[in-house]
């Protein structure tokens, strides 16, 4: 990414495009001096029905759907905002990390729009979009602690500026959202797994099964959820072998126990992350959470209590801005645009793109770089 002199704090309007997984999204965000930011439009075309029969997102199907819908989403976002493309100041697009077919679709459309209109292009790290959303919704200042907890990612980030992040820890295998989806699939529940598991857990006994709390016996803020999923699989198979099948009560208890274990791990690791973030000396402005798993009521209640204990505001954007959307990409683009960030036509789609490149990769590295 190129770096130019900072743009004066003037009124800015940015079109944002998002296509990193299974939501095709576009939005227009405006920020005027002295006024709260405005989401002028937000369009999201979901793909849940396309992937429902497969128990998860199929990358090839997702990529084709993005190709069919991205230009329509951008056109609709501009229409709802009452603007022509010539009236926006820049075009921001998710350039990674994500499923490469979808990311490539977004980058190519953004390049075409930029070349055709002459508007500046800004490649955005998808994780930065989530991490900066609390500034769009609540106007909080730096630094703040962000727990990004979604289907594909789980990290603790100390957010110091729009282009400076310090990762305190993260998952070394499955993200919580992925673990919820796999749990739902193992138990024959519908997708997406998070809401299905939560609904089933409401009538369950979380203490019936002794599920592990992985990595709580180790220092630091890193997490693991793969072993928890395996423990649930063994408990399920044990019940089937013992009684020939699963009763609804069994399903409820399995879901409740799994959900409680995830909440326990995330709450304890959040406690540690808050303590570590405060060691730097600068007072935190808030404890924030974003990502689809942030909608889980048990987890949210635990995190709210933790923030109160730490005497910090708890900030969780509305669910529509916790899941993947174009507004968060437009906002991240707007913030980076003001700092002088620009991309050119060499912008590449990246399946892997860690926010904090100073930290060792959580999931190892390959020819294409660090995975997370």
Whichever domain contains 104, its CATH number is 3.30.420.40
Pair (105, 158) in one structural domain? no
Q: How much is the pLDDT for 256?
A: 98
Do residue 95 and residue 33 come from a single domain? yes
Tell whether 149 and 275 lie within a shared domain: yes
Together in a domain, 307 and 324: no
Phi/psi of residue 168, each to 5°?
-90, -20
Q: Which domain holds residue 351?
A: 2-139+320-370
Q: For residues 134 and 322, give the distance between their C-alpha atoms in angstroms, rounded to a whole number.
A: 10
Q: Is 164 helix (H, G, I), strand (E, B) or coil?
A: strand
Q: 151 with 252, same domain? A: yes
User: DSSP readout, 52-111?
Assistant: GGGTS--HHHHHHHHHHHHHHHHHHHHHHHT--GGG-SEEEEEEESS-HHHHHHHHHHHH
Tokens encoding 365: 């590295």
Q: What pLDDT, on a 0 to 100 scale, did the predictor assign at position 169?
A: 95
Q: At a CB cut-off of 8 Å and minimum separation 6, what does 334 contact?
A: 12, 14, 29, 31, 37, 90, 92
Q: Report how far residue 122's alpha carbon sits from residue 14's, in angstroms, rounded to the nearest whole number.
A: 10
The pLDDT, as a whole number, for residue 150 is 78
Looking at the fold, whether 108 and 231 belong to one and the same domain comes out as no
Which of 279, 312, 345 is the endpoint of a domain?
A: 312
The stretches in the chain having pLDDT less than 50 are 364-371
Q: What is the pLDDT of residues 303-341, one digit of tens each?
A: 999 999 999 999 999 988 988 999 999 999 999 999 999
Check whether residue 71 and residue 219 sit in a common domain. Answer: no
The pLDDT of residue 3 is 63
> 294 with 330, same domain?
no
Residues 156, 359: Cα–Cα separation, whole Å? 12
The reported pTM is 0.91
The predicted pLDDT at position 364 comes to 47
Predicted local confidence at residue 357, as pLDDT: 82
pLDDT of residue 363: 61
pLDDT at position 9 is: 55
Residues 149 and 280 in one domain: yes
Closest CA to 19 of 113, 129, 118: 129
Residue 327 and residue 332: Cα distance in Å, rounded?
A: 9
Please check whether residues 26 and 115 belong to one and the same domain: yes
Q: What local confidence, expressed as pLDDT, does residue 1 receive?
A: 64
- Whether 133 and 245 share a structural domain: no
Provide the token pair at 214.
């992985």
The pLDDT score that the predictor gives to residue 158 is: 96
- For 319-358, b/e burial (b = at least 16 CB within 10 A) is eebbbbbbbbbbbbbbbbbbeebbbeeebebbbbbbbbee
Q: pLDDT at position 52, please? A: 74
pLDDT of residue 369: 40
pLDDT for the residue 367: 37
Number of compact structural domains in the chain: 2
Q: What is the pLDDT of residues 203-261, one digit of tens each?
A: 999 999 999 999 999 999 999 998 999 999 999 999 999 999 999 999 999 999 999 99
């Amino acid at each position: 990414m190129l770096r130019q002199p900072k743009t004066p704090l003037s009124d800015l309007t940015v079109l944002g495009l998002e296509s990193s997984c299974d939501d095709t999204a576009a939005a227009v965000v405006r920020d005027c001096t002295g006024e709260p930011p405005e989401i002028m439009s937000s369009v999201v075309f979901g793909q849940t029905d396309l992937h429902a029969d497969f128990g998860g997102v199929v990358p090839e199907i997702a990529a084709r759907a993005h190709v069919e819908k991205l230009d329509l989403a951008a056109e609709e976002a501009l229409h709802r905002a009452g603007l022509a493309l010539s009236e926006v100041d820049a075009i921001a697009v998710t350039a990674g990390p994500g499923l490469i077919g979808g990311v490539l679709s977004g980058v190519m459309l953004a390049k075409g729009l930029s070349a055709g209109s002459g508007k500046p292009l800004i490649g955005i790290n998808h994780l930065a979009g989530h991490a900066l959303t609390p500034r769009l919704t609540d106007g909080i200042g730096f630094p703040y602690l962000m727990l990004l907890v979604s289907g594909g990612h789980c990290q603790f980030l100390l957010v110091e500026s729009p282009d400076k992040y310090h990762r305190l820890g993260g998952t070394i295998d499955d993200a919580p959202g992925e673990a919820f989806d796999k749990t739902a699939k193992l138990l024959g529940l519908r997708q997406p797994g998070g809401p299905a598991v939560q609904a089933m857990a409401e009538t369950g006994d979380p203490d019936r099964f002794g599920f592990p709390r992985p990595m709580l016996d180790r220092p630091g803020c890193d997490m693991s959820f793969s072993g928890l999923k395996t423990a649930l699989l063994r408990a399920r198979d044990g019940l089937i072998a013992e009684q020939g099948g699963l009763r609804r009560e069994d399903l409820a208890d399995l879901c409740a126990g799994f959900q409680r274990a995830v909440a326990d791990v995330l709450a304890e690791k959040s406690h540690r992350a808050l303590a570590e973030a405060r060691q730097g000396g600068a007072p935190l402005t808030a404890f924030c959470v974003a990502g689809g798993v942030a909608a889980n009521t048990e987890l949210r209640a635990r995190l709210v209590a933790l923030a109160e204990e730490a005497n910090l505001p708890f900030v969780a954007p509305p669910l529509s801005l916790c899941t993947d959307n174009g507004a968060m990409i437009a906002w991240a683009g707007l913030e980076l645009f003001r700092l002088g960030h620009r991309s050119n036509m060499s912008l590449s789609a990246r399946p892997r793109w860690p926010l904090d490149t100073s930290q060792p990769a959580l999931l190892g590295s390959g020819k294409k770089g660090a995975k997370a």
